[in-house]
Chain A
């Protein structure tokens, strides 16, 4: 059996933008999936707030994802049959809740998607699709958003837009975001960067810049 994660103890602060970095196979995606309740640990515990994820059954985990967690994936992952707006409110619809009009308007405003809301995903550019995904993550006002390589499929301009948007959500709205990335430029937008190698935390950095992140990565022999 391969140990994807090995004796990690780590906490992420509320209203902080954290990045997890590391070379391929370092376990960063596995860590994110375990934190988000998509994957289960063989031993150890994960807490979101005061909830221990290992104690939850499938249905309770689903409810946790529905209410307390938001996701942004690398490959956008929008539902092709729904309009941008319907995609944004999808988690609320699934939960059988009405979106809060003011909060929704705010999310739409800061994503700059106002005139694209009626469009289907295949009528939007990659950057726009990812902003829809980001808006979807924010719209349900979750306690925490997990972003898995959110800029992986975007060009540099769209990447910058999205990262500015995430930064904004943390600073202005007090959102908590944990992002997995291998892009030092993306990591530089975070408050804190945690470096992983071979399933262990090997380093961390507060107030990172692209250069300082790149330095550490070089040392990890990427």
Chain B
């Protein structure tokens, strides 16, 4: 039987071509994701390992409780410079150096624009003179010595054409440009760069000033005397350190950094990509089912003959499954190699400082091949079961059996799966349990499967409606196109369902983003009264901008909204501080109870109603704020307000925050046009002021609204890109169904040609069938997507999505694009159909 499968496979090469491509695409996405994340992880691992090579022990502050990690994320207690002498005195320490390393030194390129834009972090640090310990290895030039000297990393230098001797403007913490001279170029560990981040190195005193380090270190790097192991030294140091500091061996530090990077990468890159990879495979499985169904139908007589000659049902089933397994295996192996190309392409897009190679581990190959083969075999199981039901007598039958009506059992199963899917989705959306995402995922899957199972019921009515204009405008070709689309409802339904999935997800996200857009528009409109807002897309900025604006006579009510994090009941919370005098003229807070002006009293806060409910805080209550670098302050709740687009959580006055926060950081600055100054004049003046701050943006309220909306567009574009694979596979599926149908109907097409149908009419017939199938997919996809989008948006009411919007033009556009996809999918099938040899078609048999 194995031989029969293989021979069948070879004779159906063309028929399986598109199935193979679909599996290749799905598998390459999976493999590409693994290769990409492995490569990035490997890059970081080697960077951390080489950078820490000379470090025996690292001393750093204990993490502030409740603060989570991540690249540059976790906030640690700062280390006072005085600790350095304590460390140096510990027995076995050869040398110890203070290390300042933090975000906030943005280099300005030759084009006057910030290097790296809003992408990778921009680190500033002090040059470490002990070359045994230092992770920085000077490649050219000299170390920084004067207050305007800077050494930059080799990766950034090469990429931006910066050389020793260049003058380099640098912006610190969102402030004004300061001018430095590049004295040297250095590598980080053995690599050019910290994976795409920029690093600027200064003398310790300059680093301390520009990074506002307050004479504190972020860590102390220690080297050991010969004969003292890292572990022993770590223990000795641990004993000598105050309680706020901890000691880790260089290896531990590298491992910890590695682990936190790995989890960040898998959370932000790996998992989302894998989700979309599996969507592609899921869509691909529809195509596989269709192909094998059609192959089984075409081979009815052959399979019946095998049965008549004594083959058991199991043997027939095996023969189909072996064919599927071999197809899946070959396609998966090819998919793995395409995955390597995809990973390379993505790495170059991410601009990561990859060393050129990709990291291939056996796991990737095994997963890719297993996933592809298993998906193919599982998808082929249904057609294989159908093959076993072919009666031996079918070998003698005249014509192919007509398709039977949809069995009731299938309708019932479809309905049950659909309802269960809806239930899981709704439960998932509105629960706060840990299994939320799994439930939502299962819900989407159930809805898609249910609709796919029920879709054959919709084919005839929907195709009749869609086919009507076609039949009336395209004559015989149009009539036949509609008839052909309806003639095998299961096949048409499955083909359309594959397209449905991609379109439904696109529609769902479009509804969600539009709802967010409309809701934020309203929210922004309702959130603040100020004419202008100054903000950045990077970390919070220093107060230089606010000071500059306060001196501008065209502006009044210049108001900083400062941010910091505090510990409240053991968990880290962002809080905002604002000058109470301007509160009413720049912000529009709607109060649930109490008054906003209550914060004018020192150590009084207002809190938003969601947070108040979540942490059970009520008016008049005392809540303790633990400032990481300040004191523990009991704060009275003076009001509860409704969270809005600009402000949420706890809000206090500047006077309450300032004594407890050593470095002031503004999240936004708000301002109004001064009396007697027209808004346009004031805006011109504002833009002039903000020009000095390359990282900051200044906008009027309406510009800001549009800006927030446009950032949603880029999210939507990202989703389009990620779903492109699934949609390409669905379009391949339409082409696949059409090609197989054309092959199946060769005789009929020959007859039509003999009866006077021109080649162009033949092409038109196939093309319109394709368009009808695509539009059916669009109808299903848009309906299901609308339902999903409304459900998802509705569940996010508490996050500020107060209005549900349906992006009508987008949906019409999707339907039109689906129609165009139909035309594209039909290109090859129409050529095939118009080339049917009339004589052979009508005389063979």
A38–B754 Cα gap in the complex (Å)? 7
A112–B402 Cα gap in the complex (Å)? 27
B345 part of interface (Cβ distance < 8 Å)? no
Contact B751 A93, beta carbon cutoff 8 Å: no
Given contacts A90-B476, A122-B402, contact A77 B751 (CB under 8 A): yes
Selected interface stretch from A9-17, A58-66, A159-167, A185-193: A58-66
B562 part of interface (Cβ distance < 8 Å)? no
Number of B interface residues at 8 Å Cβ cutoff, please give it.
Answer: 27
- In the complex formed, the residue of B with least CB distance to A29 is B843
Contact B475 A81, beta carbon cutoff 8 Å: no
A58–B483 Cα gap in the complex (Å)? 26
Contact A65 B843, beta carbon cutoff 8 Å: no
Contact B755 A73, beta carbon cutoff 8 Å: no
Given A65-B755, A66-B756, A81-B480, 12 further pairs, Cβ under 8 A: A38-B754, A39-B839, A62-B759, A66-B757, A73-B751, A79-B752, A80-B402, A80-B487, A81-B483, A90-B755, A136-B755, A148-B843
- The residues of A that contact B758 with a CB separation of less than 8 Å are 59, 62-63
- Within the complex, which residue of B487, B754, B756 is in contact with A67, where a contact is CB–CB below 8 Å? B756
The 3 closest A-B pairs by CB, nearest first: A66-B756, A81-B483, A93-B476
- A39-71 CB mask vs B (1 if < 8 Å, else 0) is 100000000000000000011001101110001
A94 part of interface (Cβ distance < 8 Å)? yes
B748 part of interface (Cβ distance < 8 Å)? yes
A66–B761 Cα gap in the complex (Å)? 13
Contact B838 A38, beta carbon cutoff 8 Å: yes
- In the complex formed, the residue of A with least CB distance to B474 is A96
Contact A59 B759, beta carbon cutoff 8 Å: yes
- The residues of B that contact A62 with a CB separation of less than 8 Å are 753, 756-759
B233 part of interface (Cβ distance < 8 Å)? no
Which residues of A approach B to under 8 Å, CB–CB? 29, 33, 38-39, 58-59, 62-63, 65-67, 71, 73, 75, 77, 79-82, 86, 90-91, 93-96, 122, 136, 148
Contact B839 A71, beta carbon cutoff 8 Å: no
A33–B750 Cα gap in the complex (Å)? 13
- In the complex formed, the residue of B with least CB distance to A96 is B475
- B348-380 CB mask vs A (1 if < 8 Å, else 0) is 000000000000000000000000000000000
B798 part of interface (Cβ distance < 8 Å)? no
Given contacts A33-B839, A77-B751, contact A94 B756 (CB under 8 A): yes
B332 part of interface (Cβ distance < 8 Å)? no
- The residues of B that contact A58 with a CB separation of less than 8 Å are 759
Contact B845 A94, beta carbon cutoff 8 Å: no
- The residues of B that contact A71 with a CB separation of less than 8 Å are 754-755
User: Is chain A's interface secondary structure helix, strand, loop, or mixed overall?
Assistant: helix
A95–B755 Cα gap in the complex (Å)? 9
Contact B759 A93, beta carbon cutoff 8 Å: no
Given contacts A33-B839, A94-B476, contact A63 B756 (CB under 8 A): yes
B747 part of interface (Cβ distance < 8 Å)? yes
- The residues of A that contact B752 with a CB separation of less than 8 Å are 79, 90, 94
Which B408-423 residues have C-beta < 8 A from chain A? none
B374 shortest CB reach to chain A, Å: 37
B479 part of interface (Cβ distance < 8 Å)? yes
A92–B845 Cα gap in the complex (Å)? 27
- The residues of B that contact A66 with a CB separation of less than 8 Å are 755-757
A29–B843 Cα gap in the complex (Å)? 10
- The residues of A that contact B475 with a CB separation of less than 8 Å are 93-94, 96
- Within the complex, which residue of A75, A94, A122, A148 is in contact with B755, where a contact is CB–CB below 8 Å? A94
- The residues of A that contact B747 with a CB separation of less than 8 Å are 77
- The residues of B that contact A59 with a CB separation of less than 8 Å are 758-759
A32 shortest CB reach to chain B, Å: 10
- Within the complex, which residue of A33, A65, A79 is in contact with B480, where a contact is CB–CB below 8 Å? A79
Contact B748 A79, beta carbon cutoff 8 Å: yes
Which residues of B approach A to under 8 Å, CB–CB? 399, 402, 475-476, 479-480, 483-484, 486-487, 747-748, 751-759, 761, 838-839, 842-843, 845
User: Is chain B's interface secondary structure helix, strand, loop, or mixed overall?
Assistant: helix
A123–B486 Cα gap in the complex (Å)? 18
A106 shortest CB reach to chain B, Å: 20
A65–B756 Cα gap in the complex (Å)? 5
Contact B759 A65, beta carbon cutoff 8 Å: no
B653 shortest CB reach to chain A, Å: 78
- The residues of B that contact A73 with a CB separation of less than 8 Å are 751, 842
- In the complex formed, the residue of B with least CB distance to A81 is B483
A19 shortest CB reach to chain B, Å: 19
A136–B484 Cα gap in the complex (Å)? 20
A91 shortest CB reach to chain B, Å: 5
A148–B845 Cα gap in the complex (Å)? 14
- In the complex formed, the residue of A with least CB distance to B488 is A81
- The residues of B that contact A90 with a CB separation of less than 8 Å are 476, 752, 755
A63–B845 Cα gap in the complex (Å)? 27
Contact A94 B757, beta carbon cutoff 8 Å: yes
Contact B483 A94, beta carbon cutoff 8 Å: no
- In the complex formed, the residue of B with least CB distance to A89 is B476
Contact B748 A80, beta carbon cutoff 8 Å: yes
Most buried by A among B399, B480, B487: B480
- In the complex formed, the residue of A with least CB distance to B845 is A75
Contact B756 A81, beta carbon cutoff 8 Å: no
- The residues of B that contact A95 with a CB separation of less than 8 Å are 756
- In the complex formed, the residue of A with least CB distance to B750 is A77
- The residues of B that contact A96 with a CB separation of less than 8 Å are 475-476
- The residues of A that contact B487 with a CB separation of less than 8 Å are 80-81
A96–B475 Cα gap in the complex (Å)? 6
Q: List 10 A-B contacts (CB under 8 A).
A: A38-B842, A62-B759, A65-B755, A80-B487, A90-B752, A93-B475, A93-B479, A94-B756, A136-B755, A148-B843
A67–B752 Cα gap in the complex (Å)? 14
A65–B371 Cα gap in the complex (Å)? 53
A80–B754 Cα gap in the complex (Å)? 16
- The residues of B that contact A79 with a CB separation of less than 8 Å are 480, 483, 748, 751-752
A212–B378 Cα gap in the complex (Å)? 65
Given contacts A38-B839, A122-B402, contact A65 B754 (CB under 8 A): yes
B483 shortest CB reach to chain A, Å: 4
- In the complex formed, the residue of B with least CB distance to A92 is B476
Most buried by A among B399, B476, B479, B486: B476
A73–B754 Cα gap in the complex (Å)? 11
- The residues of A that contact B761 with a CB separation of less than 8 Å are 94
A196–B238 Cα gap in the complex (Å)? 110
- The residues of B that contact A67 with a CB separation of less than 8 Å are 756
- The residues of A that contact B842 with a CB separation of less than 8 Å are 38, 73, 77
A158 shortest CB reach to chain B, Å: 15
A28 shortest CB reach to chain B, Å: 13
A38–B487 Cα gap in the complex (Å)? 28
- The residues of A that contact B484 with a CB separation of less than 8 Å are 81
- In the complex formed, the residue of A with least CB distance to B399 is A122
Most buried by A among B402, B751, B755, B759: B755
A154 shortest CB reach to chain B, Å: 14
- In the complex formed, the residue of A with least CB distance to B482 is A81
- The residues of B that contact A94 with a CB separation of less than 8 Å are 475-476, 752, 755-757, 761
A205 shortest CB reach to chain B, Å: 27
A71–B758 Cα gap in the complex (Å)? 16
A139 shortest CB reach to chain B, Å: 11
- The residues of B that contact A39 with a CB separation of less than 8 Å are 839
- The residues of B that contact A136 with a CB separation of less than 8 Å are 755
- In the complex formed, the residue of A with least CB distance to B765 is A94
Most buried by B among A63, A81, A90, A122: A81
A156 shortest CB reach to chain B, Å: 19
A194 shortest CB reach to chain B, Å: 20
- The residues of B that contact A148 with a CB separation of less than 8 Å are 843
B751 shortest CB reach to chain A, Å: 5
Most buried by A among B479, B751, B753, B845: B751
A120 shortest CB reach to chain B, Å: 9
A90–B748 Cα gap in the complex (Å)? 13
- The residues of B that contact A29 with a CB separation of less than 8 Å are 843
- In the complex formed, the residue of B with least CB distance to A65 is B756
Contact A91 B756, beta carbon cutoff 8 Å: yes
A63–B753 Cα gap in the complex (Å)? 10
